[in-house]
Amino acid sequence: MKINYITLASKELAARRYRMEMPGEYIGDYIVTNFPCIADVYVMGKAYTKDELLLQTYLARAKKLSFVFDLCDDIFDREEHDYYRKMIMLAEKVVVPTEAMREVVIKETGIYPTVIPDPYAFDEKPIKDISEPKYLWFGHPTNLKYLEQVKHMKLEVVTTDSPETRDFLKDYNCTLTEWSAENLQEAFDRNNVVLIPSDDSRKNSVKSNNRVIESIRQGMSVIAHPIPSYKEFDISFDFDKIKKTTPELQKQVRDNYNISVIGEKWKKTLSSTLDVAEGF
């Protein structure tokens, strides 16, 4: 089964790694492209960039090919939501990373999507002592604005190093580390508590929990605003009561978010939509 992941997302985005490359490698034969090519099954992923040519290509091909639409962001409150809705409504199947995102899709479209979470990517490490907290934040630059809440704190920030990032952080008491998988691993080794601040506007956020599960894998404690996809881990944004990661939490992540479990869910979903392209 050859999978064609179709996306305009850059190679640096976590969604591309967790929702395309890792499942694709597990299943066996895959390619990531900007437009459809010859394959057995098609997955439209991270389609957050409005592109009329891609839309028209998708609409034309969807009439004779079976597409799976992987909706990992809540796009229904965006200006371009009609653009995405057209794609979603023509998909053979819709996949989402969280139960909260599933509820949004049902409400907005009447479609009942399949929930397939992000797998973890890193090896498990021993649980860290937090008697002397050292704080780490990592993520995409679009989320840097939430660090305003911890501006006074000393922390390490792992994200894309750019003039814009440096300008935003110039008044912060932080160390900036350029994002890469290797640099993030080293940052985990230097710190013991991961911060994931947010605000009340995101209390119903449907985002993936991959930052939490990767942190737990690394033995880190986590302080995060309690959005729906974090609830199963019983974490809070209380600096006075930092909850140390436990062996039970690590086992929960190990059992439920490994690529074998996640990959089989993808394999089952994609196998049920097998199609062969003709006329390209």
Q: Locate tokens 């006329």: which residue?
A: 279
Residues 6+ apart with CB under 8 A from 13: 46, 140
- Whole-number Cα distances in Å, 243 to 28, 95, 100: 39, 32, 24
Q: Token pair 């935003």 is at which residue?
A: 168
**Res 266: pLDDT:** 97
pTM for the model: 0.89
Same domain, 239 and 265: no
The label of the residue with tokens 């580390």 reads: 177
Q: Residue 120: its pLDDT value, please?
A: 97
Same domain assignment for residues 267 and 242 = no
Residue environment code for 146-169, b if the CB has 16+ CB neighbours within 10 A, otherwise e: bbeebeeeebbbbbbeeeebeebb
**Residue 114 amino acid letter:** T
Q: Distance from CA of residue 44 to its chain's centroid? A: 15
pLDDT tens for the chain, residues 1 to 280: 899 999 888 887 888 999 999 999 999 999 999 888 888 999 988 866 667 777 777 777 777 778 899 988 777 777 666 777 878 888 889 999 999 889 989 998 999 999 999 999 999 999 999 999 999 999 989 889 999 989 989 999 999 999 999 999 999 999 999 999 999 999 999 999 999 998 665 445 677 899 999 999 999 999 998 888 888 998 888 888 899 999 999 999 999 999 999 999 999 999 998 755 444 4
pLDDT number for residue 275: 59
Does 161 lie in the same domain as 111?
no
Number of other residues whose CB lies within 10 A of the CB of residue 203: 11
pLDDT of residue 14: 86
Query: Residue 125 domain-assigned?
Result: no
Residue 47 lies in a domain: yes
Domain count along the chain: 2
Residue 278 lies inside a defined structural domain of this protein: no
Residue 244 shares a structural domain with residue 266 = no
Q: What is the pLDDT of residue 205?
A: 67
Residue 277 covered by a domain: no
Domain hosting residue 237, numbered range:
135-256
Same domain, 264 and 252: no
- Domain at 231, CATH number: 3.40.50.2000
User: Does 243 lie in the same domain as 177?
Assistant: yes
Compute the distance between CA of residue 142 and CA of residue 140 in angstroms, rounded to an integer: 5
Answer yes or no: do 266 and 244 share one domain: no
Whether residue 101 is contained in a domain is answered as yes
Q: Does residue 106 sit in the same domain as residue 164?
A: no
User: For residues 234 and 243, is the Cβ–Cβ distance under 8 A?
Assistant: yes
